[in-house]
């Protein structure tokens, strides 16, 4: 796309890729901007026969409310993506360059047949096998890192998790729902007390690319040593939102969440805290309607339903997985 090619940042990346020996020449490069994320500028770059993706983290996220986070997190993303590949080489892109001065990273692009899982889910294509595969992969990432001192040294800084998750998703929701603030604060206390393993921090369908029999997990910028339950609750809360959005298929999203959790439990050496899965998911549901990154596919009724579900789960101190899907039966 000529416009993206004129972006001086792309020019700098191309010069650097040649300098670093990633490609022999920048001649004939093509660039297309990729959409989908709110926290970065992402471009698909084809050059020298290589299909690459270039990513800059934004200092101010592309949402209506002000939401700031240092773009230095892009360096964490590169490091965590590389770590993820050492554990599961098939399930994350390869990082081919990290420019920690200009804060831009370059990785391999997914094969063109890999599609975004969020789009598939929203179209009603709900394959529980994808849930199973993600549960197994997440169990490996959590389990291996839990006994790896190198992971603890590299990913011990929780700054970005606080800026991008604890503050906007939990604390903000406590401010909006003052009557539940104490309950929410206790959920946060228990979550932040745990330093158990490498946690992805944004384990959402929009960060999963899938095709027949293979998948990648992207976007490791909030990776940190923390509470494994958070990744489980995050993905489950996204599936609950999809179930509220498409009630006729709610049982499919629930089955997918179930196979995700079952596969995780079968393979993980860690006991993620079952008692905190539903409370964390409840906070995340409220965050998706009253936090800084609201769901982009809800109508007003679905937002209300999500809000009342999240509130009820917290008020009842619910811990039962089935309770997440209850309003859908009524
Ligand atoms: N390596 C990649 N290969 C193919 N597509 C990618 C790749 N990295 C990102 N994308 C696409 O770009 C979108 C945004 O990238 P992402 O890293 O998730 O940015 P953000 O941090 O803004 O969410 C992704 O949802 C995906 O569709
Ligand atoms: Mg993303």
Question: 112: exposed, middle or buried (C-beta count within 10 Å: 0-12, 13-18, 19+)?
Answer: exposed
The C-alpha atoms of residue 50 and residue 48 are separated, in whole angstroms, by 5
Q: Show Cβ contacts of residue 190 under 8 Å, excluding neighbours closer than 6 positions.
A: 227, 273, 276
- Residue 36 is predicted with a pLDDT of 66
- Kindly state if the Cβ of 54 falls inside 6 Å of ligand 1: no
Strand, coil or helix: 319:
coil
- Kindly state if the Cβ of 111 falls inside 6 Å of ligand 1: no
- Kindly state if the Cβ of 118 falls inside 6 Å of ligand 1: no
pTM for the full predicted model: 0.95
Give the number of the ligand closest to the Cα of residue 61: 1
The torsion of the CA quartet 312, 314, 319, 321, rounded to 10 degrees, works out to 50
What is the distance in A from the centroid of ligand 1 to the CA of 311? 32
Q: Show Cβ contacts of residue 329 under 8 Å, excluding neighbours closer than 6 positions.
A: none
- Kindly state if the Cβ of 139 falls inside 6 Å of ligand 1: no
Residue 40 parent element (H or E): strand 40-47
Helix axes 128-146, 73-87, angle to 10 degrees: 100
Helix axes 274-290, 181-193, angle to 10 degrees: 120
**How would you classify the pairing of strands 40-47 and 50-57?**
antiparallel
What is the distance in A from the centroid of ligand 1 to the CA of 40? 9
Could you tell which of 217, 219, 221 is best to mutate to test the pocket of ligand 1, judged by most ligand atoms within 8 Å of the CB?
219
- Residue 39 is predicted with a pLDDT of 81
- Contact between 205 and 117 under an 8 Å Cβ cutoff? The reply is yes
- Residue 326 is predicted with a pLDDT of 76
pLDDT at 1 over 50: no
* 282-321 core/surface letters (b: 16 or more CB in 10 A; e: else): bbbbbbbbbbbbebeebeeebbebbbebbbebbeeebeeb
Strand, coil or helix: 145:
helix
- Contact between 205 and 293 under an 8 Å Cβ cutoff? The reply is no
Cα separation of the two ends of the chain? 50
- Kindly state if the Cβ of 202 falls inside 6 Å of ligand 1: no
Ligand 1 nearest atom to the CA of residue 40, by list position: 22
- Kindly state if the Cβ of 93 falls inside 6 Å of ligand 1: yes
* Per-residue pLDDT reduced to its tens digit, 108-144: 999 999 999 999 999 999 999 999 999 999 999 999 9
* Per-residue pLDDT reduced to its tens digit, 266-318: 999 997 678 999 999 999 999 999 988 889 899 999 999 999 999 999 999 99
Domains of the chain (ranges plus CATH)?
A: 2-108 (3.30.200.20), 115-328 (3.90.1200.10)
Nearest CA to ligand 1 atom 21: 39
């Amino acid at each position: 796309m000529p416009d993206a090619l004129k972006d001086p940042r792309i020019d700098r990346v191309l010069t650097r890729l040649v300098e670093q020996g990633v490609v022999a020449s920048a001649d004939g490069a093509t660039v297309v901007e990729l959409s989908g994320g709110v926290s970065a500028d992402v471009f698909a770059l084809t050059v020298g026969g290589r299909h690459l993706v270039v990513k800059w983290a934004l200092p101010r996220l592309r949402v209506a409310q002000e939401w700031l986070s240092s773009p230095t997190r892009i360096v964490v993303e590169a490091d965590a993506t590389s770590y993820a590949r050492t554990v599961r080489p098939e399930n994350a892109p390869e990082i081919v360059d990290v420019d920690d001065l200009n804060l831009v990273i370059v990785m391999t692009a997914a094969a063109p047949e890999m599609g975004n899982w969020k789009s598939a889910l929203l179209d009603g294509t709900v394959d529980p096998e994808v849930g199973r595969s993600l549960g197994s992969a997440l169990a490996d990432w959590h389990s291996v890192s839990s006994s790896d001192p190198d992971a603890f040294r590299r990913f011990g800084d929780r700054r970005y998790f606080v800026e991008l998750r604890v503050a906007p998703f939990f604390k903000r929701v406590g401010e909006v729902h003052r009557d539940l603030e104490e309950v929410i604060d206790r959920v946060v206390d228990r979550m932040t007390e745990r330093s158990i393993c490498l946690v992805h921090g944004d384990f959402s369908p929009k960060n999963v690319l899938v095709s027949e029999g293979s998948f990648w997990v992207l976007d490791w910028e909030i990776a940190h040593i923390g509470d494994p339950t958070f990744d489980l609750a995050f993905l489950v809360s996204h599936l609950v939102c999809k179930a509220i959005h498409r009630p006729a298929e709610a049982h499919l999203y629930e089955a997918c969440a179930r196979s995700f959790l079952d596969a995780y439990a079968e393979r993980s050496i860690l006991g993620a805290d079952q008692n905190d899965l539903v409370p964390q998911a409840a906070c995340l549901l409220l965050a998706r309607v009253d936090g800084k990154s609201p769901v982009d596919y809800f109508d007003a009724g679905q937002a209300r339903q999500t809000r009342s579900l999240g509130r009820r789960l917290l008020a009842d101190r619910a811990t039962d997985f089935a309770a997440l899907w209850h309003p859908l039966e009524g």
